[in-house]
Amino acid sequence: MRRIVRWVDRAGRVSVGVEVDNEGHFRKLSGIEDPMPFLRGEMFSPEGGAVTPADPYSLELGDGRTLIAPLDPPEVWCAGVTYERSRDARMEESAVKDVYDLVYDAPRPELFLKDAGARRTVGPGRAVGVRGDSLWNVPEPELGLVLGDRGRILGYTIGNDVSSREIEGANPLYLAQAKIYAGSCAIGPAVYVPTHDPQGFQIAMRVVDETEQVVYEDRTTTAQMVRSFQELTSWLVRDNPVPAGSVLLTGTGLVPPDDFTLERGHVVEISVPGIGTLSNPVVLASSLVERSAAHV
């Protein structure tokens, strides 16, 4: 196994690091800021000494290096209703229940565009947003597939498809508004490139409040998915020019109880063995829009 990370130093220089052993030591790859050429199989020489993360799970680096998203995907896509638990939750919340049951059993999966140009996607440690016009917002921890040409799976990462259950539940046609807004997606902290096809990933999530008290935690496995990774990618690229470097989030099997909602000050931590832990604080999406406008 090996993982790929990216960081920015105090001077603003972006580097790509590749894991050189099984103990979390990374070496910078010479001359690139984007990991895609390396993921495609091009050869690069490591330079300098090994960088050792201060934390083996979050992969925080220290020494003036700030971890950023492991890549800037040109597009982020999502698959929905790929776990039985997700189907049941969608049916419970929705005013139009049959649509979710039908897609769960249908040959064609639910696929939708979450982001383009990485305008709504953040990396580890950066804030994710919740909508101010929704009273019921949830994290959705998902395994992400990093895609090459024609949907070939090059690696795996962690994703958080932050969503408004209130808005989607009111009407399935509101899906875009429930899913697509400032800070609604996070990926990281690494891209995992296995030496063989993985059989399943364990996914754990916990949400802590401002006092560091756990307000929700649970775990699942991708072995419970009703569809395979290859099935999802084959549907995604069918008659669809998905650019290499895009990420497909494969659906969530973790659904908090109906009385839970994400709030400002919460921190969402999603862990997958072999990849690491993706941690993001929660803010109002409107504050992220204002921050982005201030830098234009």
From 53, 68, 83, the end of a domain falls on 68
* Of the candidate ranges 23-27, 116-120, 122-126, 221-225, the one whose mean pLDDT is the lowest: 23-27
| Pairing mode of beta strands 128-130, 276-284 | parallel
> CA nearest 253: which of 83, 100, 105?
83
Same-domain status, 56 and 195: no
pLDDT beyond 80 at 205: yes
**Which distant-in-sequence residues (6+ apart) come within 8 Å of 269 by Cβ?**
205, 206, 207, 208, 277, 278, 279
What's residue 89's pLDDT? 63
DSSP 174-187: GHHHHH-STT-EEE
Per the listing, tokens 């992400």 go with: 144
The two structure tokens encoding residue 284: 């109002």
Same-domain status, 127 and 26: no
Same-domain status, 51 and 106: no
pLDDT beyond 70 at 50: yes
From 41, 68, 95, the end of a domain falls on 68
pTM for this prediction:
0.93
Same-domain status, 218 and 106: yes
pLDDT band per the 50, 70, 90 thresholds, residue 99? confident
The two structure tokens encoding residue 266: 């919460």
Same-domain status, 196 and 236: yes
Q: What is the CATH number of the domain that holds 60?
A: 3.10.330
Same-domain status, 24 and 98: no
* Each residue's pLDDT tens digit, 268-288: 999 999 999 999 999 999 999
Q: What value does the mean pLDDT take over residues 260-265?
A: 97
Domain of residue 59, residue span: 2-68
pLDDT band per the 50, 70, 90 thresholds, residue 112? very high
Q: What is the CATH number of the domain that holds 282?
A: 3.90.850.10
What's residue 143's pLDDT? 98
What's residue 63's pLDDT? 84
pLDDT band per the 50, 70, 90 thresholds, residue 196? confident
From 46, 68, 90, the end of a domain falls on 68
Same-domain status, 100 and 22: no
Distance CA 280, CA 262 (A): 12
Same-domain status, 285 and 227: yes
